[in-house]
Structure 1
Amino acid sequence: STTVPLFGALTSTHTTATLQPPLPEVVWMWELDRVRGTCLFRARESDIEVELPMDPMHGTVGVAPANLEVRSALVPDAHGGNMDTPEMRAGVTCYLGVNVEGALFSLGDGHARQGEGETCGVAVECAMNTVVVVELLKGVETPWPRIESDTHIMATGSARPLEDAFRISQLDLVRWVERDYGLSALDAYQLVTQAGEAPLANVCDTNYTCVAKIRKEWLPRQGEPHRGLHRHLRDAAAQLPLFNA
């Protein structure tokens, strides 16, 4: 991991201009133990060490954007991209709306672990081998990237300022609960307000990303998100020889 001059949440940037000089480029080499599943932090200016659990994730997951637009992989938006959410870990299903023929799905930016916000702009970056199961679900509107785990459904929003990213993610979660769980818009709004969580994904990229999530156990039992695709894919993935490797 590293600090990058003019990049990150706690330094001057090109768009947040100040008189103070940018932070220097400093590199931290994290020691990864795949057998024990840990990441070892060693302080640069003392002998302090901290061992953290490995939590592999992809910072960048997306499809081609709409309207023939070309985007840098650094810019998250409605098509996905560099959202940098720790929720994008093994075992989840990511729903992405298809904008062009073939979707042009891509993923990268492997992280051994990352805290919420990716504050300095750089996670514990690493090479990664990933097994992905892809399915096409027709006729289900997905305006923003959505994530489903065994325990939560999650909506993402990417924009600047940060409150707009928050609003996008909250609105999409409300609309999702309304559609798949049979609640009215205002009832879904009230339930999400009292039962939802709002972790930050990144606050350092060209667009910031927020996540809105809610526990499945707190949702109406008759609902099934995205026609049960997550359950179907989990069952299919369990048959792959590398899935539990």
Structure 2
Amino acid sequence: MEIIDFVPRPDQFVYTFGGAAPAATIEPGTALRLWSEDAFNNAITTRSDVPSSKLDPHRLNPQTGPFYVNGAEPGDALAVHIVDLTPARRWGASATIPLFGGLTATDRTSLLHGALPEAAWIYDLDTEAQTVGFQSRSGDFELALPVEPMLGTVGVAPAGGEVQSSLTPERFGGNMDTPELRVGTTAFFSVNVEGAMFSIGDGHYRQGEGEACGTAVEGAMNSTIIVDLVKGGGPLWPRLENDEYWMVVGSSRPMEDSWRISQVEMIHWLGALFDLEPMDAYQLLTQISLVPVANVVDTNYSVVTKVAKSVLPEGSAFNGIHADLRQRARQLR
């Protein structure tokens, strides 16, 4: 297995999916060891930082990539398997940002009240205990929370020559902000352009489902991934697989449409896995689905439909590549 290390310079960050030249060309089956900057672009480093004065709206959510995958053609399925995620700093940052978040007026949800107060929180990382420390800004409440690394953003170039902000989740993946994008997960994306042109970024040291205030414990990340290709069969929306679940991510507004997307796509997937007619798959999904909310703050909201493999017969998705990637990942540890 070829292994490539890549640490982008600041001038190599990209802020879109689509519209950027490739950072490198790789072969299917390549392992990548990548470094990515945090979603704030390292602009928030202390509790005294005021987000509105520190953040450049044109330089948020920097991505590492894109990578051109040889042989990837529209309609194929790109498989991105997460082997390892390790915080690259001894601290992470979170913040409340004016007119951004799930429980405030926004530029799309116009209300008469003003923006909620803006503020920053710094979470110190204890590498030995594998925790990050929450400290209240008012009072002396402290809490050590387990580190649960994830990638907020993984995706490919959109179809039709579109260029989308790296803040946006859509069919191409992007800023889905689901905690399911963690070690051991394989993400599947439909290839829309020659070479797929995939990127990753937005490392989170931990995040609750929904990302309520709009920011997780944001931090620079060292990521090890394996990238492979399945010819044909590209999914309409991102699909995820780990050892316990099959999952589909839908992203839209309003949020019920995100749910509908993920449910419909899971019905199609169950149908393909177990030769079920749509109405039978619909009935089965009604009884077994779990539906964690990924984010309620991005330009589109993301919802995950997941089904446990343990309640279903043994099935093989994308020619069983997840199990193969898991085996290959052990060679890198």
Q: Is the 8 A contact 1:133 1:237 kept in 2?
A: yes
Q: Which runs of 5+ in 2 are unaligned?
A: 1-93
Aligned AA for 1:238?
Answer: R
Match of 1:229 in 2: 321
* Structure 1 residue corresponding to 2:226, chosen from 133, 137, 143: 133
CA distance in 1, matches of 2:232, 2:174: 23
Cα distance between partner residues in 2 of 1:67 and 1:18: 36
- Structure 2 matches for 1:170-189, cutoff 5 A? 170-189=263-282
- C-alpha distance in structure 1 between counterparts of 2:234 and 2:228, whole Å: 15
The one-letter code matched in structure 1 to 2:320 is: G
Q: Whose RCO is larger (CA < 8 A, sep 6+)?
A: 2
Shift of 1:24: 2.0
Shift of 1:190: 1.2
TM-score by length of 1: 0.96
Task: Give, in whole Å, the separation in 1 of the partners of 2:136 and 2:307.
Answer: 36
Q: Equivalent residue of 1:139, what SS?
A: strand
Matches within 5 A, 1:1-245: 1-221=94-314, 223-240=315-332, 243=333
Give 1:35 shift. 2.1
Q: Say whether the 8 Å CA contact 2:248–2:304 is kept in structure 1.
A: yes
C-alpha deviation, 1:200, in angstroms = 0.3
Report which of the two has the higher share of strand.
2
Q: Deviations over 1:52-111 (max 9, x none)?
A: 111000000000001100100011000000000000001100001000010001000000
> Which stretch shows the higher mean deviation, 17-26 or 3-12?
17-26
Paired positions, count:
240
The one-letter amino acid paired with 1:155 is: V
Identity of aligned residues (%): 52
Contact 1:181 1:219 in 2 (8 A): no
Amino acid at match of 2:254: P
Name the aligned partner's letter for residue 161 of structure 1.
P
Runs of 4+ residues deviating >6 angstroms: none
Q: CA deviation at 1:13?
A: 0.5
Q: 1:237: how far off?
A: 0.8
- RMSD (Å) for aligned C-alpha atoms: 0.8
Check the 8 A contact 1:180/1:226 in 2, yes or no.
Answer: no
| Partner SS, residue 131 of structure 1 | strand
Give the TM-score normalised by the residue count of structure 2. 0.71
Following superposition, the deviation at residue 6 of structure 1 comes to: 0.4
On the 8 A contact 2:189/2:234 being kept in 1, the answer is no
